[in-house]
Amino acid sequence: MDTRNSKLGTEEIIWNLADLYANEAALEADVEWCRKTAVDLNTRWRGHIATLSAAELLSLVSALEKLDSRLGRLDAYAFLNFCTQTDNAEAGALHQKITELCSECAATTIFFRLEWNALPEAAAVALLAAPELAPYRHYLTSLRRYAPHQLSEAEEKILLEQEPVGRASWNTLFEKIFAQMKFGETGRGEEEVLADLHRPEQQTRQRAAGEMTAALQTNSHILTHIFNTLAADKMLDDKRRRYPGWLSAMNLDNQVEDEVVSTMISVICSRYDLVTRYYHWKKKALGYDQLFDYDRYAPLPDLAMADIPWDECRQMVLGAFSSFSRKLHDIAKTFFDEGWIHACLQYGKRGGAFAHPVEPAAHPYLLVNYTGAWRDVETVAHEMGHGVHQVLAAGQGYYGSDTPLVLAETASVFAELLLFNQRLRELTDPARRAALIAGKLESIFATVFRQTAMNRFEERMHMGRRESGELSVDDLSRHWLETQGQMFGDAVTLTEDYGLWWGYIPHFLATPGYVYSYAFGELLTLSLYGRYQEEGEAFIGTYLNLLVAGGSRLPRDLLAPLGFNLGDPAFWRRGLAVIESYMAMLE
């Protein structure tokens, strides 16, 4: 256990997974129930979807949702149990066992999705019009969007059965490598090294960057192989399923059109000048002649650097939520009070942060690696936004509460804005206010522009793998430096070492194409927050309704009451204009 836990008061901030399974017997009972239920559903319904009445279809979909909910609970428990102890063989074995169970049950019940999507359009429309199917109308309609890309039942079953030893297994290997990787002479963990990039001493930042680069270099042959393997895996899957582009599958999952995403990315790239302007400003503010990649997160002299204890973090986050809505405050308070958060630092724990849903009948869990920095308070607020969103959307059921990634970032980014503006109101010293605004801009840049630059890297990686074959470590590093360099312009000098830093980004592997969702959510939320500033309390109900709706409708339909047109470049420019207004405050 890290000694900083006692200093920050996070020794006991460890989640209580007994809320999911109090003992092994209960878990094993659910494993057997899921396996038996999947077989029973296959025996009872396979081959009969075309002849079902609306009432029978409701019965089947309800049963499938109950099965998937139980699998979701098992999967969440196994994953959460594993990600805080990736060096524990028993935890790893359980995680693999449940992953295989989920694939087994999915293969056994795949008949429903295939037969439902094979129904003639007229028959499907007639069934969907039945009042009793209203709770599942969006879910069933969304399934049919995948019809042009589905394979035969035999092929789909083989792919599902292979998944635990395919993509999922490579991602687990990646997580194990980083969770157990040691950096520098003292064998520090990843989170400690990355935290040093925010230190005021340039020598400390340069050393941390060197330690990260050295570790990436040592493992570059493994990381390059993993990246190539999963890029090839996606290439083959896209070809099998006849997706027109490398990003099409993600766009379909996000329920947004390719043109909307293309428009957003184009508009963001056209404003890379904002990033260049900011880092020229920061270079001058720091008194540097040259700003290197390891200087990007250097704190301004007037930024408070004192560690923030966990209890103070708790008060800040709850205060920010309370300033907007008592309902949000009360839900967030439950996370703090009931053991739904894992914040302490420990060896073998996965890096980063996340909010993990379970099922509507169970609460979500939050993971953070709390080091006491202001950015960690922002991270807690961000993940708490996710958690509150998941709690509010639970009323839509397991299928209806699954929010598309492009909307899943809404509540988290909004929570960060609440925290930021509360802190800004509290500060009276102009220099400290400027430092806080600068920090917020860097956070926004990381979400909007850096994620978009990573999307540009990802496109080069996938297209390069498809057009030229296996990519070398030098190929990947060149793509990384060029796409990052386009964003920073002449304001930041990117060292050759920084070229390897593509290797620690898990999203490229776990969810190909995912990263643009961050930019989507940030710009959307800036527009939402602007609406809140205009309307005041009248906006709160509208916003809560958006969160409660979860994924029960298409994103464009959920946003229609707000008058947002995602296909209009002007919509994205509105969010960028808010960013420019922060920049103007500094300049």
The pLDDT score that the predictor gives to residue 59 is 97
φ, ψ (nearest 5 deg) of residue 401:
-90, -10
Q: Which residues of 509-523 are buried (b: 16+ CB within 10 A; e: fewer)?
A: bbebbbbbbbbbbbb
CA 445 to chain centre: 17
Q: At what angle do helices 258-269 and 569-586 cross, to 10 degrees?
A: 30
- pLDDT < 70 positions in the chain: 1, 302-305
Q: Is the dihedral of CA 166, 170, 175, 176 positive or negative?
A: positive
Location of structure tokens 């999507």: 117
First to last CA, the chain: 44
- How far apart CA 531 and CA 135 sit, in angstroms, is 30
The pLDDT score that the predictor gives to residue 298 is 93
Among 82, 256, 264, smallest CA distance to 175 is for: 82
Among 390, 383, 372, 307, smallest CA distance to 341 is for: 383
The pLDDT score that the predictor gives to residue 463 is 97
The pLDDT score that the predictor gives to residue 1 is 62
Strand, coil or helix: 345: coil
Q: List, for residues 127-167, the tens digit of each pLDDT value.
A: 999 999 999 999 999 999 999 999 999 999 999 888 888 99
The pLDDT score that the predictor gives to residue 404 is 86
254's CB contacts (< 8 A; 6+ apart) are: 261, 404, 405, 406, 517, 555
Q: List, for residues 283-299, the tens digit of each pLDDT value.
A: 999 999 999 999 999 98
- How far apart CA 371 and CA 38 sit, in angstroms, is 44
The pLDDT score that the predictor gives to residue 481 is 98
Q: How many CB atoms lie within 10 A of CB 131?
A: 7
Domains and CATH numbers, the chain: 8-156 (1.20.140.70), 170-302+432-510 (1.10.1370.20), 310-426+518-557 (1.10.1370.40)
The pLDDT score that the predictor gives to residue 300 is 86
The pLDDT score that the predictor gives to residue 305 is 65
